[in-house]
Amino acid sequence: MTPKDRFTRLIATTGPISVAQYMAESNARYYDSRDPLGSAGDFITAPEISQMFGELIGLWLADMWDRAGRPAHVHYVELGPGRGTLARDALGAARRFGLTPDVHFVEASSALAALQRGTIPDATWHADLSTIPDDAPLLIVANEFLDALAIRQIVRTPSGWRERMVGLDGDNLVPMAGDRPMDAAVPAAFADAPPGTILEACPAAAAITAELGRRLCVQGGAALVIDYGRAQMASGSTLQALRAHNPVDPFAHPGEADLTAHVDFSVLPEIAQAQGARWLGTVEQGAFLTALGLAARTQALCRAAPAKSAAIEAAAHRLAAPEEMGALFQVMGLCAPGWPPGAGF
Taking the least distance from each CB to ligand SAH, the nearer of 61 and 336 is: 61
CB of 106 to ligand SAH, least distance (A): 5
**In angstroms, what CA-CA distances link 158 with 108, 154, 174, 177?**
40, 13, 19, 11
- Least distance from ligand SAH to the Cβ atom of residue 338, Å: 28
DSSP state of 325: I
**Residue closer to ligand SAH (CB basis): 155 or 264:** 264
Nearer to ligand SAH, 41 or 133 (CB): 41
CB of 48 to ligand SAH, least distance (A): 6
Q: Which residues pair with 181 in a beta bridge?
A: 162
Contact status: 285 vs ligand SAH (CB under 6 A)? no
Candidate ranges 137-145, 184-192, 274-282, 299-307; the one touching ligand SAH (CB under 6 A): 137-145
143 sits near ligand SAH (criterion: CB under 6 A): yes
Q: CB of residue 185 vs ligand SAH: minimum separation in angstroms?
A: 22
φ, ψ at 17 (rounded to 5°)? -110, 155
Strand partners, 242: 247, 258
Using the minimum distance from each CB to ligand SAH, give the nearer residue, 145 or 265.
Answer: 145
Q: Among the candidate windows 60-68, 102-110, 271-279, 323-331, which touches ligand SAH by CB under 6 A?
A: 102-110
Q: Which string of DSSP letters, residue by residue, matches 33-96?
A: T---BSTTSSB--HHHH-HHHHHHHHHHHHHHHHHTT--SS-EEEEES-TTSHHHHHHHHHHHT
Helix, strand, or coil here: 317? helix
CA–CA separation, 128 and 304 (whole Å) = 40
Q: Give the binding-site size for ligand SAH (rule: CB under 6 A).
A: 20
- How would you write 202-251 as a 3-class SS string? CHHHHHHHHHHHHHHHHHCEEEEEEEEEECCCCCCCCCEEEECCEEECCC
Cβ distance to ligand SAH smaller for residue 45 or 50: 45
CB 154, min distance to ligand SAH, A? 22
Nearer to ligand SAH, 86 or 225 (CB): 86
Q: Please, what is the minimum distance in Å from the beta carbon of residue 32 to ligand SAH?
A: 8
Contact status: 80 vs ligand SAH (CB under 6 A): yes
Give Cβ neighbours of residue 282 (< 8 Å, ≥ 6 apart): 231, 265, 269, 330, 331, 332, 333
* For ligand SAH, the closer CB: 81 or 213: 81
CB nearer to ligand SAH: pick between 145 and 161: 145
Q: Considering only residues 3-62, where is the footprint of ligand SAH by CB under 6 A?
A: 27, 31, 37, 45, 47-48
| CB neighbour burial string for 61-70, b if at least 16 within 10 angstroms, e if fewer | bbbbbeebee
Are the C-beta atoms of residues 325 and 319 closer than 8 Å to each other? yes
Residues 213-232 binding ligand SAH (CB under 6 A) are: none
User: Using CB under 6 A as the criterion, which residues of the chain lie in contact with ligand SAH when the complex forms?
Assistant: 27, 31, 37, 45, 47-48, 80-82, 86, 106-109, 112, 143-145, 148-149
